[in-house]
Structure 1
Amino acid sequence: MKGLFAEPMGVDFSAALADGLHARLTGSTPQAMARVTLLTNTSRMARRTEAALASRGATLLPRIGLVSQLAPLLAPGEAPVADISSLATRLRLTQLVDLLLAKEPGLSPRAAAFDLAGSLANLLDELQEEEMDPSAFDALDVSDMSTHWERSLRFLRIVTGWSARDGNLTEAAAQGLALDRLVAGWERNPPQDPVIIAGSTASRTPTRALIRHVLDLPSGVVILPGLDTDMPEEAWQALTEEAGHQDHPQYRHAALLAALGRTRSEVPRWSERAPAVPARNALISLALRPAPATDAWRAEGPELPGVAEACAGITLLRAPSPGAEAATIAAGLRAALAQGKRAALITPDRALSRQVAAQLDRWRIIPDDSAGIPLGQTSPGRFLLQLAEMRGQPVEAEPLVILMSHPLTHSGRGRADHLTRLREVEIELIRAKPLAFPDRAALTAWLNDPEKPRLNDAWTEWLADMLDAVAAQPDSAPLIDHVTSHLELAEALTRGSADEAGALWSDAAGRAARQMLDRMIDAAPHRGETAITARDYARILHALLSGEEVRETFSPHPEVMIWGALEARVRSADLVILGGLNDDVWPGQPAPDPWLNRAMRRACGLRLPDRSTGLSAHDFQQAASGAEVWLSRAVRSAEADTVPSRWLNRIEGLLGGIGPHGEAALAGMVARGDRWLATAALLDRPDARHPTARAPRPAPRLPRGIKLERISVTGVERLIRDPYAIYAENFLRLRALPALRQGPDARLRGEIVHEAMERFARAVPDTLPENADAILRATLEQALADIAPWPGPRRLWLGKFDRAAADFLAAEAERRAKGRPLHLEDTGKLTINSLGLVLTARADRIDDLGDAVAIYDYKTGTAPAGRQQRQFAKQLLLEAMMVEDGGFAGIAQRRVDEVAYLTVGTRYAETSPEDFGPEAIARTRADFLKLIGRYAEGQPFIARLAPDLLTYVGDYDQLSRFGEWDDTQSARVIPVGQ
């Protein structure tokens, strides 16, 4: 029970650790196991080792800790306690970064101060871990670099000086002090009981120091995971020559052995467990040789033994898309489960793991996801973030409804009544107005509407109070004020009108979120009294919640796992699927360092970005050494073709270049993957035994005796283009709800221009005065102020209107010379007795020309012209027909001399039918009667009969199940009422 040991690739490390420990303690008393101190690299490995030890039956367990947390090994009075938390340190650094960005605004946006402070805090922790003297910054020469790095270096000198003078013991410094005290205690009184470090690759300086001291103990043991024993000694020695190959999976082991003066032959096995596939270990070892040594492929590759055996258990999956990759992986996991195997997906791609989990849901399988989910994506996290993003600004309609509909809002007694009342407010107030910025005044006016008074009770008073409270949240305040006011408002929302304790903090995610807010309250004074905006507070909260993960309390399936890359070191499964094997995923891109570039880090002796690549490579090498392995990637993402992972590229390149036996092995791997892709594709095909018919293009036909009784002039164009929409609106009585997301769109702009034109015509009923331009602009400004509550779009639209105003007034003067606006926004109704139909219209403007009239319609977009007016856009011609037939009560039957669309957009234009006159009106009348007559005789209402453009979207496309059919298919007549 002393010395340096290792386990090779393809071995379940936790189980091997338990085997070796039991073997060495055989014959000892049961208490001997309890006297062992075991230090692992992660808490997951600690749990896994406990399970492996307990699997042999009832036993005492060793004292298990982490190599990064040594304080529990010290006596109670010796354990150092940090004076300041990592969050408090980060908030302090945020003040410094904020001052830097104020002085150097070109460095980064001010909103990035908290994120930059996080990377700066990590750098300061690294300086302490690597025991770097801050004076090394003074020796750096950046004269041949960009000014950015010179500016960064000056700032780092200030920060390290401030950190040295601060005097507070940080969490990183406390860990370093714990190591010093532990080592000093061991030197005074070396422990006689075993102390074991297992599973660490010694990638950090404190861990390497701890390993050296443990090996000096009487019963000190270090067990290295995944030591490559197949690499030739010459290649092994080359790993640490000069700068070293830090991106190689075995670099850390080679550097540690070199520092200890050991060779691999002097490192015995800890257990007697055999690797799953020894030939696979040799194949992957050769494939991952450092780039300068890949000439060994030519020499060693053709003679490599057991290539077929090494590749027999590998399936190479080249999916055409991420969705296909997820579906195929899920199918493989499901098949393994049916065969009684334990199966695991290992991937650092969280998007892929979520897709696989969603695919598994088709079989009601909930995988055991070791990473959990980010706290910001849990129900309490989303609730807190939604509320945080609404603070400090007027309450908008869509975010309000989302927040009020959240399961945690009003989560006590009366939740069902809350949802019913909220739906009423949403449909009858917010959507119907539409109301972009709901507030107490609008709610009160709606409640007290004399035409339709509504219930005003404790719930409506609570809703009004919440509207006031959200709107009154501070936009600029110290961080502590933001946290406390946000917390108070969140609890008031979850209590609801019944004022009962809600469910915000009731589950694991809620408790984690509350702990995060409590830590923010404790650390907030370190941010100082400087005011920050509510948006900055929301960014800070989002960053903190996204950085925490929480596991749900439900019971997942014990035999289907989703692991991160680190799990490959400590756990094994019968089937291991390595998913997302594309560059930038395996390995991922190192996090960008805004403070030190690669050359500066090398000069200071700090960790290089290659370190993270090497650690990821070691995880890959261990995971790929299992008995049955899938190597999976999507050859194309949603945007472009992907690049295979460098390690997968090397394996394919090696197999493809060592001769026919390698090519045959690679072809077999690909063939197995293609079979699984084909199998997964069958899951989405209709089952021949239970065919799922695609919906036909509907063409409902009304029963005899039921016919269209009312239609508007604008509805006639819909009847021509999309008869099904008229059927759904008039006979099914379905109406599209107004959009909840309200903004300055084209519809609202048209409404504003119509309102302004009506006000201008009423203000100036006759000849235009000299100040007509001022009057016109004033009416538009007033219409904008009344209808569009967005200052930015108001100014933009006003500017566009100004460019068209002069041309409009010039043309308006000519119109006023011929007549004057007689009827504005007038409604008309024409009864056609022969068809039993009422035709309705709302004319924007009808001018009195004496013995005739002119009809005008305002447009802000492109007006229909030419063939569109002849075939579809019959609005103006139908209004002319109604005037001649007496359809407007306030207008005597008269001749119509002119109809035109007046476009008031970024420019002014007039558009009239090319052949307008009595013949055109007569032709329109005849065509209209013929059109309505055909439907009265039983013509079916075909969906999307003549859509305007390929991008045409109708209100009833979902009802007609458009997408299961397309515009090229023939319609199926559907008799209604039979």
Structure 2
Amino acid sequence: MARRPRILSIPASAPFLPTLIEALASDKLFADFPTAGDPLSLNRATIYLPTRRACRLAREAFLRRGGTAVLPRLIAIGDVDEDELVFADAGRAEALTVPPAISPLERRLVLAGLVEKFANAKEIASGDAPLITGTPAHVLDLADALARLIDDMVTRDVDWKQLDKLVPDDFDPYWQLTLRFLGIAGEAWPAFLKEQGLVDLSTRRDALLAAEAERLRNRAPGPVIAAGSTASMPATARLLAEIARLPQGTVVLPGLDLSLDNESWSKIGGTPPGFSDPSVAHPQYGMFGFLNLVGVERDEVEELVAAPLAIRDKLVSEALRPAAATEHWATLDGGDALAAGFDDVAVIETETVEQEALAIAVALREAMEDPKRTAALVTPDRTLARRVKAALARWRVPVEDSGGEALSESGAGIFARLAATVALRGAEPVPLLALVKHSQFRLGRGEGGFAKAAVALERAVLRGPRPAAGSASLIQAVALLRADIDGGKVHRADQRTKLDKWQFDAADELATALHAALEPLESLAGQQSSLADFAARHRAVLDALSDHDDGEAELIDTALAELAESGAAQSFRMPAFEYPAFFERVLAGRVTRPPEDRTARVRIFGLLEARLQTVDRLVLGGLVEGVWPPQMQSDAWLSRPMRQQLGLDLPERRIGLTAHDFAQALGTRDVIMTRSMKVGGAPTVPSRFTQRLQAVLGEGPWKLALQRGEKYRAWARSLDMPETIARIAAPEPKPPLAARPTRFSVTEIEEFLRDPYSIYAKRVLGLAKLDPVDTPPGARDRGSAVHNAIEDFTDLYADGLPSDPYAELIKLGRKAFEPLAAHPDAQAFWWPRFLRVARWFAEWEPARRVDVDTVFAEKRGELEFLIGDRMFKLSARADRIEKRRDGSFALVDYKTGNAKGAKEVLSGLAPQLTLEAAIAQGGGFEDVPAGSSVTGLTYVQLKGQEPPGLVRELSEEETWKKTSPDAEAVRAFENLKQLLLRFEDEKQPYLSRSRPQFRQRYGDFDLLARVREWSATGGVVEEE
């Protein structure tokens, strides 16, 4: 007579592995297999656990307990290995021979090729519309979805022929097309595997499990225990069922719910009559099906130990009961009987994810106050995990993050992706800077060997508008900038003029070496090639860029080598531009984990890693919908009704698995649950698990839990909160006299008058605002191009105009616009404006020169004068100086933006032209004798709109009737000397925004002066 299956359970609130090991070592599992006191007795026992990590944890638990000389044989069901099974019974080695599994990467690529090949096939496409469109990365995503479908069909024993039973006309046209494709794939894929002598990994796994079940059935090996598995896969369930029936076999389930009433229990699965739509989202769904499989009633299952937190377990059972049975909540006495189970639970709700991470870090840090305690964070949110780890670093708390991270997000993965992006997408400035500043960037030198060169290259050509595409353009851009600076083509206010020769040399060296390193991959830019070719060249580029060698870099090198040698990759072609995104997708499924730190008492787990773990304090983080539980993702190939008809898992199954993880985690005595009320500025929805808990508990116990969590929020807020908050005052720097500048340009004087602090920042502190990286060309770039063209024209034809001024202006304009060649959008927008400016200027210039004798363009001048005991120098670069036929002079300033108004000039707040006139009067310009009269001050606006050009003769405006340019020049110069004299007193501070009239924007140094802070509380400081 067959033995009745033996199934036990360990309550969720009992530590699973320690309880299991204690029971095995103290004869509680097998009455006919005594182990107590015999250190060699366990060598005949076999324990099946869910994962290799669980096996390692069990091994450590055995060693901590002691008293055992030989450990039992530990086998991971989830990662079952043929060698392990053969080793158990050498005589059956031949029977266990299973074809090798296709490598995961090769399978992905072959399936991607299959998807791409058949997507546009006539027998699938409807008319001219292809079934699948998108990038190669999108095709790989669809191939991954197809691989998951194949695994699902293997796992659930669904034959491809069952697809024929689905009636296409019952579904949307899209699903009809996918069924046609799957019909072809269902023939092509098995045929490919058969030809190669391979099988899917899931097929191999199930075959090995079936072979192991047969071995156990035919040859009882001694005590056998299967523990910790929920038997969610049919092959696993069949193996566990065989173990349960062995003479010395036992299955130990994790957290089987024995408190749920029978009526509600029956509503979990689909086996009982009348329940055709099972509650797949229920945490007990897998174990419900397993008990039905072995024919064991739930009340026949014995708990191995009494639940330490029986009320907590009951509370969780009630909260997670099947949706069809939630009417039982109405019979609860307001949750009061269960509220005691929530006494050790704290709830933290924060405004942002950053606050949530810091509160979690504080809670974990508090647990470390007791040197014997351990703590862990469990979360499926890897971003939250990284934030918590970073927050714990402030206390130097060692953290073991066993959840790992995607290889694509590791340091080596990011570096590899950046290298491909830079090489194949035109060396865009942002990824280029990220590459050359990466810690793994070497180029034949040690770490940081090119750090100064990277900064020089950034300042020279990567800030502001980007250079032309390709790394070779960097070499050209550096050389062009050096030539332009030497030729005076770059305004001296441009910070690039401050670069030293060694910085240009360093930038040139880096650009040259980078171009050589990127060449193998960059030579394919703009072309199509095979994935294998891209991978081989990518590998060569990484070898040239970095000699950094660590575990992550080796994984990247292995992945690229596998791609380069893959037969499927040889035939998979794509445009070069698409390769970086495709490569990132290839790495996304690979996980890298740091070496284990056994000294760490704080750990971070993913949901899979947290199973069967035991710690003193457990924080459940990211409890919002879409994270825990995860967002349900529909199948790209089969709709939900299709999957249900075929007997495949529904999308809600993932919710049930995470629900079981949640229920097991709440078995820890000291639990903290957290969520952020906003993520990325958008409100979140609390996890359905916590909503159910709140519904069962009622408002009172939940508020108490929030109050228990409030202290962690308060501690987190106080970490960066100053003891007192003082109102900030406007800055009043008073540098010593020797540090105060004595050289000024006329354009700086307006800044000096309005905002002395900016002069302090620039000339005393030596600071400068840099352009952002890779900014689109702006007004300054347009202004420079127009200015250069007009100035070159004025300089070339100072003594007489050409026969066709417009044609000559166009010729000079094309040369001036060459730096914008890499920006066709800017060219398309600004060049037509310049054409209008050129036509207007070609008509205005001849008329202007009727009363002009000589024209000087870009004339430099300076004037020295004494203030107190120090000599000062005022310099200017006049756009245009005209010598009129009556011997007087006029000053013209070209503006591609708005020109200053007459009132602004007369008020002294816009003294550029009047101070240029003062320099002219003092003989500071060559060819302008001292004592010359200035009779004209003119702004010429060259916007290219309607009208294209506009002349503003300040000296002819109504407000100038009582004065003259000569008089205003004298007055402006006197005002300047008074200003400089006032700042010769060391008690005079350089105030911020002292005269903001007519100012429409904030200055470059207002952030440094913290203007928005002190002006909001004290107003703008006015200087008399």
When normalised by structure 2's length, the TM-score is 0.84
Counterpart-to-counterpart distance in 2, 1:279 and 1:887:
93
The 5 Å alignment of 1:225-264 reads: 225-240=254-269, 241-264=275-298
* Corresponding residue of 2:531: 479
1:889 is paired with a residue of what secondary structure? Answer: coil
Query: Does the 8 Å CA contact 1:365/1:557 hold for their aligned counterparts?
Result: no
Letter in 1 for 2:676: A
* Corresponding residue of 1:681: 717
1:129 equivalent to 2:129? Answer: no
Counterpart-to-counterpart distance in 1, 2:942 and 2:386:
50
Residue 877 of structure 1, CA deviation? 4.3
Counterpart-to-counterpart distance in 2, 1:338 and 1:520:
49
Q: 2:19 aligns with which of 16, 21, 25?
A: 16
Specify whether residues 386 and 94 from structure 1 end up closer, same or farther in structure 2 by C-alpha distance, changes over 3 A only: same
Query: Does the 8 Å CA contact 1:857/1:900 hold for their aligned counterparts?
Result: yes
2:682 is paired with a residue of what secondary structure? Answer: coil
Letter in 2 for 1:902: Q
Query: Does the 8 Å CA contact 1:225/1:569 hold for their aligned counterparts?
Result: no
Query: Does the 8 Å CA contact 2:761/2:1005 hold for their aligned counterparts?
Result: no
* Corresponding residue of 2:416: 384
* Corresponding residue of 1:7: 10
Counterpart-to-counterpart distance in 2, 1:902 and 1:936:
37
1:724 is paired with a residue of what secondary structure? Answer: helix
Specify whether residues 964 and 379 from structure 1 end up closer, same or farther in structure 2 by C-alpha distance, changes over 3 A only: farther
* Corresponding residue of 1:499: none
Residue 597 of structure 1, CA deviation? 2.1
The 5 Å alignment of 1:485-564 reads: 485-494=537-546, 502=547, 504-505=548-549, 507-523=550-566, 525-553=567-595, 555=597, 558-564=600-606
Q: Over residues 255-275 of structure 1, what are the superposed CA-to-partner deviations in whole Å (9 max), with x where a residue is unaligned?
A: 222333322101112x32x33
1:88 equivalent to 2:106? Answer: yes
Q: 2:1004 aligns with which of 954, 963, 975?
A: 954
Q: Over residues 418-468 of structure 1, what are the superposed CA-to-partner deviations in whole Å (9 max), with x where a residue is unaligned?
A: 545655666678779996665385499699999998699999879734413
Residue 972 of structure 1, CA deviation? 11
Residue 338 of structure 1, CA deviation? 0.4
* Corresponding residue of 1:49: 58
Query: Does the 8 Å CA contact 1:828/1:841 hold for their aligned counterparts?
Result: yes
* Corresponding residue of 2:814: 781
* Corresponding residue of 1:794: 824
The 5 Å alignment of 1:352-431 reads: 352-396=384-428, 399-410=431-442, 415=447, 418-419=450-451
Letter in 1 for 2:83: P
* Corresponding residue of 1:109: 134
2:752 is paired with a residue of what secondary structure? Answer: helix
* Corresponding residue of 1:197: 226
Counterpart-to-counterpart distance in 1, 2:1021 and 2:914:
33
Structure 1 stretch displaced more, 29-38 or 445-454 = 445-454
Counterpart-to-counterpart distance in 2, 1:326 and 1:634:
9
Counterpart-to-counterpart distance in 1, 2:447 and 2:225:
55
1:536 is paired with a residue of what secondary structure? Answer: helix
* Corresponding residue of 1:222: 251
Counterpart-to-counterpart distance in 2, 1:814 and 1:413:
59
* Corresponding residue of 1:320: 351
* Corresponding residue of 1:888: 925
Letter in 2 for 1:839: L
Q: 1:830 aligns with which of 833, 843, 863?
A: 863
Q: Over residues 131-176 of structure 1, what are the superposed CA-to-partner deviations in whole Å (9 max), with x where a residue is unaligned?
A: 2222333333344654332332222222222112212423223223
Aligned residues: 946
Q: Over residues 824-882 of structure 1, what are the superposed CA-to-partner deviations in whole Å (9 max), with x where a residue is unaligned?
A: 33323233445743222223344555445554444455555587665754434443444
Structure 1 stretch displaced more, 150-159 or 22-31 = 22-31
Residue 667 of structure 1, CA deviation? 2.6
* Corresponding residue of 1:293: 325
1:681 is paired with a residue of what secondary structure? Answer: helix
Query: Does the 8 Å CA contact 2:85/2:212 hold for their aligned counterparts?
Result: yes
* Corresponding residue of 1:206: 235
Identity between Structure 1 and Structure 2 (%): 30
Letter in 2 for 1:162: A
Query: Does the 8 Å CA contact 2:464/2:775 hold for their aligned counterparts?
Result: no
Residue 616 of structure 1, CA deviation? 0.7
Specify whether residues 46 and 707 from structure 1 end up closer, same or farther in structure 2 by C-alpha distance, changes over 3 A only: closer
1:744 equivalent to 2:794? Answer: no
Unaligned runs of 5+ in 2: 28-32, 87-92, 270-274, 487-499
* Corresponding residue of 1:935: 983
Structure 1 stretch displaced more, 923-932 or 352-361 = 923-932
* Corresponding residue of 1:660: none
Q: Over residues 366-412 of structure 1, what are the superposed CA-to-partner deviations in whole Å (9 max), with x where a residue is unaligned?
A: 22211123323333222222212112354455544543343333387
* Corresponding residue of 1:178: 208
Structure 1 stretch displaced more, 605-614 or 278-287 = 278-287
Counterpart-to-counterpart distance in 2, 1:867 and 1:152:
74
Letter in 1 for 2:636: P
Residue 593 of structure 1, CA deviation? 2.6
Query: Does the 8 Å CA contact 2:466/2:776 hold for their aligned counterparts?
Result: no
Specify whether residues 733 and 807 from structure 1 end up closer, same or farther in structure 2 by C-alpha distance, changes over 3 A only: closer
* Corresponding residue of 1:875: 912
Structure 1 stretch displaced more, 106-115 or 473-482 = 106-115
Query: Does the 8 Å CA contact 2:882/2:889 hold for their aligned counterparts?
Result: yes
Residue 547 of structure 1, CA deviation? 2.7
Q: Over residues 631-651 of structure 1, what are the superposed CA-to-partner deviations in whole Å (9 max), with x where a residue is unaligned?
A: 211122331222111111121
The 5 Å alignment of 1:795-814 reads: 795-803=825-833, 805-806=835-836, 809-810=839-840, 812-814=842-844
Residue 13 of structure 1, CA deviation? 1.4
Counterpart-to-counterpart distance in 2, 1:345 and 1:925:
70
Letter in 2 for 1:22: A
The 5 Å alignment of 1:68-79 reads: 68-70=78-80, 71-75=82-86, 77=94, 78-79=96-97
Counterpart-to-counterpart distance in 1, 2:101 and 2:596:
37
Letter in 1 for 2:204: A
Q: Over residues 244-292 of structure 1, what are the superposed CA-to-partner deviations in whole Å (9 max), with x where a residue is unaligned?
A: 11112222222222333322101112x32x3332111112221222333
* Corresponding residue of 1:902: 941
Query: Does the 8 Å CA contact 2:517/2:544 hold for their aligned counterparts?
Result: no
Residue 728 of structure 1, CA deviation? 2.8
1:831 is paired with a residue of what secondary structure? Answer: strand
Residue 745 of structure 1, CA deviation? 4.2
Structure 1 stretch displaced more, 727-736 or 352-361 = 727-736
Q: Over residues 78-122 of structure 1, what are the superposed CA-to-partner deviations in whole Å (9 max), with x where a residue is unaligned?
A: 342425211111111222333456675684422422222222222
Counterpart-to-counterpart distance in 2, 1:601 and 1:871:
80
Counterpart-to-counterpart distance in 2, 1:412 and 1:19:
57
1:632 equivalent to 2:684? Answer: no
Query: Does the 8 Å CA contact 2:25/2:35 hold for their aligned counterparts?
Result: no
Query: Does the 8 Å CA contact 2:899/2:939 hold for their aligned counterparts?
Result: no
Structure 1 stretch displaced more, 610-619 or 393-402 = 393-402
Residue 903 of structure 1, CA deviation? 4.0
* Corresponding residue of 2:42: 33
Specify whether residues 752 and 120 from structure 1 end up closer, same or farther in structure 2 by C-alpha distance, changes over 3 A only: farther
1:730 equivalent to 2:763? Answer: yes
Query: Does the 8 Å CA contact 1:568/1:622 hold for their aligned counterparts?
Result: no
Counterpart-to-counterpart distance in 2, 1:249 and 1:823:
86
2:225 is paired with a residue of what secondary structure? Answer: strand
Structure 1 stretch displaced more, 839-848 or 425-434 = 425-434
Specify whether residues 397 and 667 from structure 1 end up closer, same or farther in structure 2 by C-alpha distance, changes over 3 A only: closer
Letter in 2 for 1:931: L
Specify whether residues 681 and 309 from structure 1 end up closer, same or farther in structure 2 by C-alpha distance, changes over 3 A only: same
Counterpart-to-counterpart distance in 1, 2:56 and 2:151:
27
* Aligned-pair Cα RMSD in Å: 3.8
Q: Over residues 706-747 of structure 1, what are the superposed CA-to-partner deviations in whole Å (9 max), with x where a residue is unaligned?
A: 653111222123223432221232233344556554653443
1:229 is paired with a residue of what secondary structure? Answer: coil
Specify whether residues 362 and 951 from structure 1 end up closer, same or farther in structure 2 by C-alpha distance, changes over 3 A only: farther
Unaligned runs of 5+ in 1: 495-501, 657-662, 974-978
